[in-house]
Amino acid sequence: MLVVMQAQATEEQVRAVCQKIESLGYRPHSMPGAQRTAIGITGNQGEVESGTLEEMPGVQEVIRVSKPYKLVSRDTKPDNTVIKFSDSHLKGSLVTIGGPDLAIIAGPCGIETRDQAFKTAERVASAGAQFFRGGAYKPRTSPYSFQGLGEEGLKIMAEIRDRFGLLIVTEAVDYESLDLVDQYADVIQIGARNMQNFSLLKRAGRARKPVLLKRGISATLEEFLMAAEYIMSEGNYNIVLCERGVRTFADHTRNTLDLSIVPAVQRLSHLPIVVDPSHGTGKRNKVTPLSRAAVAVGADGLIVEVHHDPDRALSDGMQSLYPDQFDALMVQVRQIAAVLGRNIPTRSRVQAEVTSSAD
Ligand code: PEP
Ligand code: MN
């Protein structure tokens, strides 16, 4: 069920409706929009008796949501969700995901050493990325492969934020790492293999930081949106969806990057969606062409693996760009973004000052 408030409804009226929903034993999710506030109701088994709510001051209508997902749906919130990062490290400059600016997230697959992370961060920052990615906890197919540095890796990334003014995106693989990632990072990544780890999704829903949710290896659009619904149902409304390719019979790439999901998501949901052409193809020579395509199709950003020395990377070296290639990618996607009226912000003077003052 969804309570749609009148455009002129007051905050007090919204609060009163939320309290009423709670008193009925359900959970209200108030979502202010550009035109009006909608209040999603979760926790109900069957239909909620709408009469009492409909009669309350400020209420325009109470509607049944027929789709299985409610809070992620555009029916609940017609305007796009824009996630805002105003961090003291950015000295007041505002970075967003889901607005007209594209979010560029770049960095190595895994944090291997302080030197590797710093060398790569310096290059992606100067190319114009606003976010630094890097795994401290690596979900690897083989238990004998590099598993990540754990908390030490998170500490290195926190230093990178201070040094370069980059926001940190890193994966949590279980409860324990999620608590630590929530503490150190700016965005909590939930990996493809965990897209249907429902207890982890709920825990991410109780975290403070925004969540970047990757599409499962063979997830349908509905399964993907339902995974986001798990997070939102616990009260965390700042979610970025991420298309990272799905498993198909094709063997010329590691996965098949499904760019058609971008407009499909945008039609059904208000959440931003970014594209990962690195895991989506698994091959370095395909990352730049598919980054161009992702921006052209209307993605809200890119997450790209870059390594200062990919030939020696401990994971995903084959799909990691050399820093020079990332520079070229940025030049190209900036031009494509402009065609769509979108923008990749140039590194602000303020951020440059963060860098030089830390020298
Ligand atoms: C990653 O981003 O390094 C990663 C492991 O991604 P995915 O979960 O999409 O495989
Ligand atoms: Mn990787």
Query: 287-329, pLDDT tens digit by residue?
Result: 999 999 999 999 999 999 999 999 999 999 999 999 999 999 9
Mean pLDDT over each residue of the chain, to the nearest integer = 94
User: Contact at 8 Å (CB) between 187 and 301?
Assistant: no
Name which residue sits closest to atom 10 of ligand 1, judged by CA. 192
Element (H, E) at 277: helix 277-281
Name which residue sits closest to atom 8 of ligand 1, judged by CA. 191
**What is the position in ligand 1's atom list of the atom closest to the CA of 135?**
3
Name the packing angle between helices 284-297 and 323-339 (round to 10°).
20
**What is the position in ligand 1's atom list of the atom closest to the CA of 315?**
3
Give residue 51's pLDDT: 82
How open is the CA angle 290-260-263, to the nearest 5 degrees? Answer: 110
Report how far apart, in Å, the C-alpha atoms of 70 and of each of 267, 286, 323 are.
Answer: 14, 36, 41
pLDDT band at 97 (very low <50, low <70, confident <90, very high): very high
Give residue 185's pLDDT: 98
Give residue 47's pLDDT: 77
Q: How far is the CA of 29 from the centre of ligand 2 (A)?
A: 34
The model's pTM is 0.94
Instruction: Give me the sign of the Cα torsion angle 284, 285, 290, 295.
Output: positive
How open is the CA angle 17-20-24, to the nearest 5 degrees? Answer: 140
Q: How far is the CA of 238 from the centre of ligand 1 (A)?
A: 20
Q: Which of 44-48, 124-128, 293-297 has the lowest mean pLDDT?
A: 44-48
Does the beta carbon of 70 lie inside 6 Å of ligand 1? no
Radius of gyration over every alpha carbon of the chain, rounded to an integer in angstroms: 21
Does the beta carbon of 135 lie inside 6 Å of ligand 1? yes
Does the beta carbon of 272 lie inside 6 Å of ligand 1? no
Helix (H, G, I), strand (E, B) or coil at 84: strand
Length of the chain: 359
- Residue-by-residue DSSP string for 168-228: EEEE--SHHHHHHHHHH-SEEEE-GGGTT-HHHHHHHHTSSS-EEEEPPTT--HHHHHHHH
pLDDT score of 358 more than 90: no
Backbone torsions φ then ψ of 145, nearest 5 degrees = -80, 165
**What number is the average pLDDT over the span 270-278?**
98
Ligand number nearest to the C-alpha of 282: 2
Gap between the Cα atoms of 216 and 97, Å rounded: 21
Gap between the Cα atoms of 173 and 222, Å rounded: 23
CB atoms under 10 Å from CB of 70, counted, come to 20
pLDDT band at 349 (very low <50, low <70, confident <90, very high): very low
Ligand number nearest to the C-alpha of 212: 1
Give residue 16's pLDDT: 97
pLDDT score of 352 more than 70: no
Query: Could you report the per-residue pLDDT of 4-23, keeping only the tens digit for each?
Result: 999 999 999 999 999 999 99
pLDDT score of 89 more than 70: no
Gap between the Cα atoms of 125 and 337, Å rounded: 19
**What number is the average pLDDT over the span 182-190?**
98
Ligand number nearest to the C-alpha of 214: 1
Does the beta carbon of 244 lie inside 6 Å of ligand 1? yes
Bridge pairing between strands 239-243 and 211-214:
parallel
pLDDT score of 66 more than 90: no
Give residue 152's pLDDT: 97
Does the beta carbon of 191 lie inside 6 Å of ligand 1? yes
Q: Give the whole-number percent of the chain exceeding pLDDT 90.
A: 87
pLDDT score of 357 more than 80: no
Query: Could you report the per-residue pLDDT of 112-124, keeping only the tens digit for each?
Result: 999 999 999 999 9
User: Contact at 8 Å (CB) between 256 and 246?
Assistant: yes
Does the beta carbon of 89 lie inside 6 Å of ligand 1? no
Does the beta carbon of 279 lie inside 6 Å of ligand 1? yes
**What number is the average pLDDT over the span 77-98?**
84
